[in-house]
Every structure is written in C-alpha cells, then in structure tokens.
Amino acid sequence: MRIVVLAGGIGGARFLRGLKQAVPDADVTVIGNTGDDIHLFGLKVCPDLDTVMYTLGGGIDEEQGWGRADETFHLKEELAAYGVGPDWFGLGDRDFATHIVRTQMLGAGYPLSAVTEALCDRWKPGVRLIPMTDDRVETHVAVEVDGERKAVHFQEYWVRLRASVPAEAVVPVGAEQSKPAPGVLEAIAEADVILFPPSNPVVSVGTILAVPGIREAIAGAGVPVVGLSPIVGDAPVRGMADKVLAAVGVESTAAAVAEHYGSGLLDGWLVDTVDAGSVERIETAGIRCRAVPLMMTDLDAAAQMAREALALAEEVRGV
Ligand code: GDP
Ligand code: CA
C-alpha cells in the first residue's frame, strides 16, 4: 500500500510513528511543511522536517516533542556571551549539527529535497521524507503590536510572541511562485490513500496546499483522502492553532476545520469521541465522518488512530 501524508511538526510526526507501527510494510511518503523554515545564525533551520526526521529516527526529545534528546546548549550560551541572538529560539548543540550540514549542502548547490534525503540517510525514518518545495516559502503573520501593524516571521509569532496577540492574516510568502519538490506530485499520483494527520490546518497542511499544483493533484488523485482532527473538544490538543484558524475565519471546532478543507478535498474525517455530536454536520457537508479516540497519549494510541484512518479510507473507497 502506498500512503502519502502531508505533515507539519509534532502532530504529524507522532501520527506517522503510529502509522509505521500500524502498517509496517506500507510505502509511506511524507510531504513536509517548509513554511516554518528560518535562517538563524547564518544557518537554515527546517523545524518541521527535523521533527519528523528525529521522531521517526529515534532522536527526538520525547517530552518536548521537538529538538534532540540528551541535548546541551553550550553553543547557544557562547553565542549569547557575544551578544548574538535571537535568544528566543531553542537550538541545542546536537541540533546545530543538522543545521550546519544542511546549510553546507545548500551552499554547495544541492536542493533542499536532496539535502533532506542525505540527512535521512543517517536517521532512517522508515518513510520517504520530501519537503513540499525546494523553493523558499516563509510563513509570515500580520499582527498589530503597540498600534502598529506589521508582519513577523511565523517563528517570531509562534515562539517569541507565543501567539499572544491576534493574528490578522497568515501569508505563505513565496508560495505562489514555488513549485512542488521533485517526487511530490509523482507520489500523490501513485498513492493508494492520502492522509492529513492531526497537523495544524493553517500553518502546516494549509501551507503545503498553498504550493501550486499540490491541492489540485490531491483533489484529482481519485483515491481516498482522509484527515484527523487536531481540534478536540473545540480546542487544539497542543499549541495555539485556534489563533491562526481565527486569522483565516475558521472557528476552532473539528467540524469547522473539516468544512475548511471541504468535500472537494476531503473524503473522510475523523473527530474525537468527545466531538461525536458534530459527525452529522460533517456528513451533511459531504465528508464521511467517524468519532474515535484521537489523543496520541502513546504509540499504541497513535497506531490505533492510523488504523481508523485507513479503515475510513477503505469505507470511502467502497462507496
Ligand atoms: P507543529 O508543526 O509542531 O505545530 O505540528 P503539527 O502542525 O504537525 O501539529 C500541530 C497540531 O497537532 C496542533 O494543532 C495540535 O492540536 C495537534 N495535536 C497534537 N497532539 C495531538 C493529539 O494527541 N491528538 C490530536 N487529535 N491532535 C494533536
Ligand atoms: Ca510547524
């Protein structure tokens, strides 16, 4: 079975680990979000790609959900001693090595997709991880700070400001001119099923869908497309997804997110059992829906979610 998954960081990575356990023999291609990418200290940092790579490769800081296990922060302290920031973005010593290798390879002329493949040679995530594009796309968030409207990099909004001010708009800068990375459209065309993990619908999955050609390829693939809600009980399970949903005019409910993707894209949608009351509304919107436990409390729970998603895909296929 060939499965394509559109993934952000933590939500995507934890789901993928469950998917690997549920169907170890499946051929899984992950299309990763690169809208979160940022240049720091002269280095190219790809937080979502790395979260997927470290999580599936066994190097993740489990508790935090991002960054490396057994991490130290000497380099950051030394930089701070020189007065060199930013100090609000957590980069550990082990993690730095990844960004150095990546930046070196990019500087030598390799596209990000080739660099990601090379990094995965070490981590062996057990999936094919492809960035959504080799072109530069940067998610910016329009905010009002002290009466002044300005656009900040997504990481500045998310990490430094902790989404504490309302997001007025979310713009994937550069997306319109970007092209899907090599292998992305091919994987979609050859997929038996396409999954949207419980990743952020705006700044993770939404950014991937903003790369011209990807949304159209998924909608026209002719195979089941099934998603899992990152919103449980009218709130994001983790993080501040409600803030960026508000910016695109979508309420923070499992049903509203399903309708935001729409029946033109989604065939099936899983909501948590606490949101069972919204199943009817979602099915009325033309999306087949089931309520099942959606909390990734451990690997087995994530694997069960993956099985439910694949079962719903088979149900949709049988229609
Ligand atoms: P990020 O790039 O690290 O923010 O990660 P993603 O975009 O892949 O996923 C973030 C989303 O995952 C958040 O909106 C959370 O609500 C969602 N999420 C995290 N853990 C869980 C979980 O256990 N269950 C569900 N349903 N969603 C989750
Ligand atoms: Ca992210």
Q: Is 44 left (phi over 0), alpha (psi -120 to 50) or beta?
A: beta
Report residue 17 CA to chain centroid gap: 14
CA distance 233 to 106: 42
What pLDDT is attached to residue 55? 98
Q: Are strands 128-131 and 27-32 parallel, antiparallel or unpaired?
A: parallel
Residue for token pair 């280095």: 43
Index of the ligand 1 atom closest to the CA of residue 203:
7
Taking the chain (319 residues) in consecutive chunks of 10 residues, what is each chunk's mean pLDDT? 98 98 98 98 98 98 97 97 93 98 98 98 98 98 91 95 93 98 98 98 98 98 98 95 96 98 98 98 98 98 98 94
* Per-residue buried b or exposed e for 256-270, using 16+ beta carbons within 10 Å of the residue's own CB: bbbbbbeeebbbbbb
Index of the ligand 1 atom closest to the CA of residue 36:
2
Would you say the CB of residue 294 lies under 6 angstroms from ligand 1? yes
What pLDDT is attached to residue 268? 98
Q: Rounded to 5 degrees, what angle do the CA atoms 91, 93, 98 make?
A: 80
Would you say the CB of residue 48 lies under 6 angstroms from ligand 1? yes
Distances in whole angstroms, Cα of residue 82 to Cα of each of 78, 86, 229: 7, 12, 44
pLDDT tens for residues 90-125? 899 999 999 999 999 999 999 999 999 999 999 999
Would you say the CB of residue 34 lies under 6 angstroms from ligand 1? no
Torsion of CA 30, 33, 38, 39, to 10 degrees: 40
Determine the distance separating the centroid of ligand 1 and the alpha carbon of 200, expressed in angstroms.
6
Would you say the CB of residue 10 lies under 6 angstroms from ligand 1? yes
Amino acid at 69: A
In CATH terms, the fold of domain 2-39+125-133+177-317 is Rossmann fold (3.40.50)
Q: Check: CB of residue 272 under 8 Å from CB of residue 229.
A: yes
129, 139, 200, 205, best to mutate for ligand 1 pocket (most atoms within 8 Å of CB): 200
Would you say the CB of residue 224 lies under 6 angstroms from ligand 1? no
Determine the distance separating the centroid of ligand 2 and the alpha carbon of 315, expressed in angstroms.
31
CA distance 37 to 312: 33
What pLDDT is attached to residue 41? 96
Would you say the CB of residue 92 lies under 6 angstroms from ligand 1? no
Amino acid at 44: K
Would you say the CB of residue 155 lies under 6 angstroms from ligand 1? no
Distances in whole angstroms, Cα of residue 318 to Cα of each of 63, 192, 310: 40, 13, 12
